[in-house]
């Protein structure tokens, strides 16, 4: 007997999150808010549908060599960040999430992103129409049209292909990045870029708005994480000591303080994670504050694609944290300087520095407002196509075989990929409705 779609969704959610759709899990409450957020938190469903044939890629894609892929590629997994984690001051626009990264098919990332463009528009339109309730969206702003979504999808593929062609002609293109204020067309990106610059070390807002400043309290000679019951949980003396002994060898300076981080992220919101404040040994001063940074230590789950595609490449047999670190090193121009993996308490933990300046992009940043409808949405898609192509091409540093094959194949099937993405958007919207109904039902009971 064939499972119902609802049962299929519930089984996939249970496998990844450890429970059926439930109001008691904060991750599920977030996911119930809109199809876009549901899509962000349920990457495993995408790969289940690829495996089952719900999503069928054009046969032309089969010839593209494997490379390092994001695994959970969507509009909000790109943004502005400082290169080399908190050790660099150069702000770039790039992929910013590698938790589901693995060696896989480039078309996975391409189709997930194309689908997310449509879902970003649906997210904003749904709020304006009263379908979804998102507090920080101004419903008076215009939303990009369906035709503009299609235009953006084509712009994304065409810029991806163009970038691959440039890599074929000159491998030095792999050293490029968007490291300037993106002002080719009016968009909110310039504002987001300037926000990131101001939060970087040496920026005008570093001491008040950077990730470090927001998390850490400095009072005289005392430097420690702020007391914030919604974000941080203090540790027992025994737990603090255990974590210090296990992870201090992977830090690049003395460990000043450690807390448990609560309720962060969307896809991995229920995975244990800790923040380490790292910097000069005591006594502390206002001058030494700039030499401190935060290192995130997070339990890593298996990348979403691997459950259904476990054997496509031997590299994917690495433990989850090791695989994430490996892929991130290959896909970034200048990877985080603190980036490692540790086995701790029978689980694999990823160790990586948090960027002082990391500014994300929400759907309303790109799909709403006059700038968005006057070219900003398509421009954002182009930048993502450029950044993703570079990340994929960096998976092959010894040749341009990937770049050559990807440019040829994707240029041949771009219309079909857009069609598949928009059909799958309808599936995600339907799936979200089923999921949200189950979450609501669990609350009522």
CA distance 366 to 303: 27
Distance, C-alpha 248 to centroid of its chain: 27
CA distance 117 to 378: 10
CA distance 158 to 152: 10
Nearest-CA neighbor of 232 among 251, 217, 250, 219? 217
pLDDT in tens, the chain (445 residues): 467 999 999 999 999 998 999 999 988 999 999 999 999 999 999 999 999 999 999 999 999 999 999 999 999 999 999 998 888 889 999 999 999 999 999 999 999 999 999 999 999 999 999 999 888 888 999 999 999 999 999 999 999 999 999 999 999 999 999 988 877 778 889 999 999 999 988 889 988 888 888 898 877 667 889 988 888 999 999 999 999 999 999 999 999 999 999 876 555 556 789 999 999 877 777 677 878 899 999 999 999 999 999 999 999 999 999 999 999 999 999 999 899 999 999 999 999 998 888 899 999 999 999 999 999 999 999 999 999 999 999 998 899 999 999 999 999 999 999 999 999 999 999 999 999 999 998 877 6
Indicate the domain borders of the chain. 5-198+361-444, 206-358
The DSSP element (H or E) to which 58 belongs, if any, is none
- Residues in Cβ contact with 366 at an 8 Å cutoff, skipping those fewer than 6 apart: 75, 120, 187, 188, 372, 376, 377, 380
Q: Which ranges of 256-376 does DSSP label H, i.e. alpha helix?
A: 320-331, 363-367, 370-371
The DSSP element (H or E) to which 35 belongs, if any, is helix 35-40
What's residue 31's pLDDT? 95
CA distance 360 to 319: 28
* Structure-token pair, residue 162: 């163009």
Q: Is 136 left (phi over 0), alpha (psi -120 to 50) or beta?
A: alpha
The DSSP element (H or E) to which 295 belongs, if any, is strand 293-299
What's residue 264's pLDDT? 63
For the chain, the 3-state helix, strand and coil shares in percent, each to the nearest 5, are 50, 15, 35
What's residue 3's pLDDT? 75
- Using DSSP's 3-state secondary structure scheme, residue 233 falls into strand
What's residue 1's pLDDT? 42
pTM of the model: 0.95
What is the edge-to-edge ordering of all strands in the sheet holding 78-82?
Answer: 91-95, 78-82, 358-360
Provide DSSP, 88-143: ---EEEEE---TT-EEE-HHHHHHHHHHHHHHHHHHHHHHHTTSS--TT--TTS-B
* Structure-token pair, residue 268: 């991995």
Phi, psi (rounded to 5 degrees) for 65: -60, 155
């Amino acid at each position: 007997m064939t499972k119902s779609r609802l049962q299929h969704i519930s089984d996939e959610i249970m496998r990844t999150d450890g429970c059926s759709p439930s109001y008691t899990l904060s991750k599920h409450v977030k996911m119930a808010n809109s199809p876009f957020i549901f899509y962000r938190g349920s990457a495993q469903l995408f790969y289940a549908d690829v495996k089952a044939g719900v999503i069928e890629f054009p046969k032309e894609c089969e010839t593209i060599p494997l490379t390092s892929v994001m695994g959970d590629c969507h509009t909000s997994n790109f943004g502005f960040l400082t290169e080399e984690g908190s050790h660099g001051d150069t702000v770039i626009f790039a992929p910013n999430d590698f938790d589901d990264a693995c060696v896989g098919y480039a078309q996975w990332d391409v189709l997930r992103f194309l689908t997310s463009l449509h879902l970003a528009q649906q997210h904003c339109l749904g709020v304006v129409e009263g379908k979804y309730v998102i507090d920080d969206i101004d419903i008076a702003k215009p939303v990009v049209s369906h035709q503009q979504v299609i235009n953006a999808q084509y712009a994304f593929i065409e810029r991806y292909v163009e970038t691959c062609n440039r890599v074929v002609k000159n491998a030095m293109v792999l050293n490029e990045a968007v490291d300037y204020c993106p002002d080719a067309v009016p968009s909110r990106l310039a504002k987001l870029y300037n926000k990131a610059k101001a939060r970087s070390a040496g920026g005008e807002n570093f001491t008040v708005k950077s990730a470090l400043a927001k998390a850490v309290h400095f009072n005289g000679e005392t430097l420690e994480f702020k007391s914030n019951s919604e974000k941080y949980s203090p540790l027992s003396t025994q737990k603090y000591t255990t974590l210090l002994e296990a992870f201090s060898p992977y830090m690049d300076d003395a460990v000043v303080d450690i807390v448990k981080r609560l309720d962060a992220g969307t896809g991995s919101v229920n995975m244990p994670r800790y923040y380490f404040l790292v910097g000069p040994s005591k006594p502390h001063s206002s001058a030494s504050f700039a030499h401190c940074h935060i290192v995130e230590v997070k339990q890593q789950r298996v990348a979403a694609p691997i459950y259904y595609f476990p054997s496509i490449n031997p590299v994917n047999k690495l433990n989850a944290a090791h695989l994430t670190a490996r892929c991130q090193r290959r896909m970034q121009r200048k990877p985080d300087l603190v980036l490692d993996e540790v086995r701790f308490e029978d689980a694999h933990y990823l160790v990586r520095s948090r960027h002082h300046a990391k500014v994300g992009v929400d759907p309303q940043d790109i799909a709403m407002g006059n700038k968005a409808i006057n070219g900003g949405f398509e421009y954002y898609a182009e930048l993502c196509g450029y950044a993703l192509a570079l990340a994929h091409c960096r998976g092959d540093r010894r040749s341009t075989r990937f770049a050559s094959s990807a440019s040829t194949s994707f240029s041949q099937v771009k219309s079909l990929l857009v069609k598949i993405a928009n059909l799958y958007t309808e599936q995600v919207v339907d799936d979200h409705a089923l999921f949200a109904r189950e979450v609501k039902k669990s609350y009522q009971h």
